Structure 1
Amino acid sequence: MNQPTASHSWRFEAIGTPWEIQTAAPLDRAARAAVTGLIDRFDREWSRFRTDSLVALLAQGERSVPVPPDAGDMLSTYAALSHATSGAVNPLVGESLAHLGYGRGYRLAAEAPVPAPTRWQDVVFWDADRLWMREPSTLDVGALGKGRLVDRVLSVVQARASGDIVVDASGDLAVRGAPVRIGLEHPYDAARAIGVATIQDAALCASATNRRAWGDGLHHVLDARTGTPIQTVAATWAIGPDAMRADGIATALFFDGGPELAFRWGIQWVRMLTDGRVEYSPGSAVELFSRASVDS
């Protein structure tokens, strides 16, 4: 990533991944406390890897929990992603991931695939006060949750800092102010890039099957209809006004229907297939390198 005019960098670990926040001037102690407090609250609400989160309580049989402030926006966005991908993207895929070994404790030992409940909107619903579950199920907001958190952290930082800002959560980032050039990492060789995107007052989110991968062909991007990892797409990138929708499109691009939804939402995208071919949205401003540089 090329450096913007923001010259001060704060690096830390949160929700299991490295973060970096770049600002024109150092964030003071109160601003940092606001950021870490927000991230901790989000984790206590949505992490399926904790035993004390709201998601864990629902999976353990609680019929309802206090509704988190992000529930409406995130689950409504999931409804659009699910409809566009004919059910391949589904927030109840948590149990499917756990059966493949990617659950609490990280067994990383696969059992037989388990599809997610097809009619998930009949299982999980919410009102102004409560998030309800008709039957014990494991919510997983990984398709867009980190993007949502990037948006919320950006809002906190903007309220406390002026000038150029970059909030980078390891592959999901938001930029305000000066443009930043971002290399699109080759999914089969982290030392190479398949192209460069210039991001200004926008968000870029990426997803790849080489991240959170284990076993023989197992990774975290599942088709919820079958409970099995997708095998045709290796990596995706999405650029949009906000990180939550860009993150959701980065997931939807692993399936049919993702490009159409990206068009409706005004999101530019690139995806690399497992055979080395690269596809991209019409009019994309991303600078892609030659085919020779992207072949796997």
Structure 2
Amino acid sequence: MAIWRFDAIGTTWEIETSNELGADERRLVGAEIDRFDREWSRFRGDSAVTRVGRDGGSISSPDAGAMLDAYLDLSQATTGAVNPLVADSLAALGYDASYSLVASDPIAAPRDWTDRVRWTEGEATASAPALLDVGALGKGRLVDIVTDVLADVPGDLVVDAGGDMRVRGSAVRIGLEHPYDASKAIGVIELQDAALCASAINRRAWGDGLHHVLDARTGVPVRTWAATWAIAPAAMRADAIATALFFDGGPELAATWGVEWVRMSTDGRAERSPGCPAQLFTTRP
């Protein structure tokens, strides 16, 4: 397998293909990643999200409808714990556009986000300034986009964006990294023609118990679950469920969507969905 490594959207990407990708294919991948980043990154001063957060208005994007439809399902399933207006809460705790990592008091995200943000398939509109954060599923969405860009590339394909990945062709054996010891795995899974996305409180963590997975209703980082993994045909839904699993309602949404999953609690217990193909080394007593 040929491997193309590069950094984008704050993480390292690895794209594995049966044969080396050509210059045109790499250019198309880079163009789609840049487009998505210019539209949805709250860490860029020139992004559409930053503009709407400052002035209100619209974001024209082919990803708007798919992502915000999924956020609506996430928000309803978790009774508001997952909410795209959590951006201000993240910024208050120091995970802001400048990565200050200086925390102030947590704030709750507005629960009426669907009154503040409206959307169609290709556009999201905020009636007043509203800073969106699509971190609950955006990286998975981008993995799907890159996979689609490479749909005509023959042979096996693995698109891996910092551990959120989609596999086409031959099966790939993947370890589920222990959230408290990166040298260990709590289990393994054979992934074939599917996506695997993960989330953990040890990633993007700073300060005293601060990390990027917040309960939008309170603005406070979650404490019960340490890590989650979700397996689905497409990476956006896997990424979304990996976020939802930190909250009540997440397993029920996963069942509705047909997504299999594993999660590990902060006291070391692991559990999984009934049909999950992962082999676990640690289980719930």
Query: Would the TM-score normalized by the shorter structure come out above 0.5?
Result: yes
Q: CA deviation at 1:126?
A: 2.1
The alignment status of 1:277 with 2:266, answered yes or no, reads: no
Partner of 2:109: 116
For 2:27 and 2:174, locate their aligned partners in 1 and report how far apart those are by CA, in whole Å. 28
Task: Tell me, yes or no, if structure 1 residue 142 matches structure 2 residue 135.
Answer: yes
User: How far apart are residue 283 of structure 1 and its match?
Assistant: 2.3
What SS class does the counterpart of residue 92 from structure 1 fall into? helix
Match of 2:19 in 1: 25
Q: Would you say 1:83 and 2:83 are equivalent positions?
A: no
* Aligned positions of 1:156-235 closer than 5 A: 156-159=149-152, 161-235=153-227
How big is the shift at 1:284? Answer: 1.5
1:14-50, Cα deviation, whole Å (9 max, x unpaired): 0010000000111000000000000000000000001
Question: % of aligned pairs identical?
Answer: 62
CA contact (8 A) 1:171 1:207 kept: no
Structure 1 alignment gaps of length 5 or more: 1-6
Query: Is 1:50 equivalent to 2:44 in the alignment?
Result: yes
Contact 2:106 2:218 in 1 (8 A): yes
The amino acid that maps onto 1:17 is T
Q: What's the secondary structure of 1:93's corresponding residue?
A: helix
Q: Distance in 1 between matches of 2:121 and 2:238?
A: 26
The alignment partner of 2:85 has SS state of coil
Counterpart CA distance in 2 for 1:140 and 1:210 is 20
CA distance in 1, matches of 2:123, 2:167: 33
Q: How does 1:258-277 map to 2 (within 5 A)?
A: 258-277=250-269
Structure 2 equivalent of residue 107 of structure 1: 100
TM-score, normalised on structure 2? Answer: 0.98
Matched, 1:8 2:30: no
What TM-score comes out, normalization by structure 1 length? 0.94
Question: What is the match of residue 95 of structure 1?
Answer: 88
Q: Distance in 2 between matches of 1:25 and 1:261?
A: 38
Number of residue pairs the alignment of both structures matches: 285
Once residues 69 and 100 of structure 1 are traced to their aligned partners in structure 2, the CA distance between those partners, rounded to angstroms, is 31
- Structure 1: how far apart are the matches of 2:122 and 2:21? 34
Alignment of 1:250-265 (within 5 A): 250-265=242-257
The aligned counterpart of 2:66 is 73
Amino acid at match of 2:165: L
C-alpha spacing 1:199/1:58, structure 2 compared with 1 (3 Å): same
Distance 1:64 1:286 in 2: 42
SS for the counterpart of 1:60 is helix
Contact 2:205 2:211 in 1 (8 A): yes
> Which ranges of structure 2 fall in alignment gaps of 5 or more residues?
none
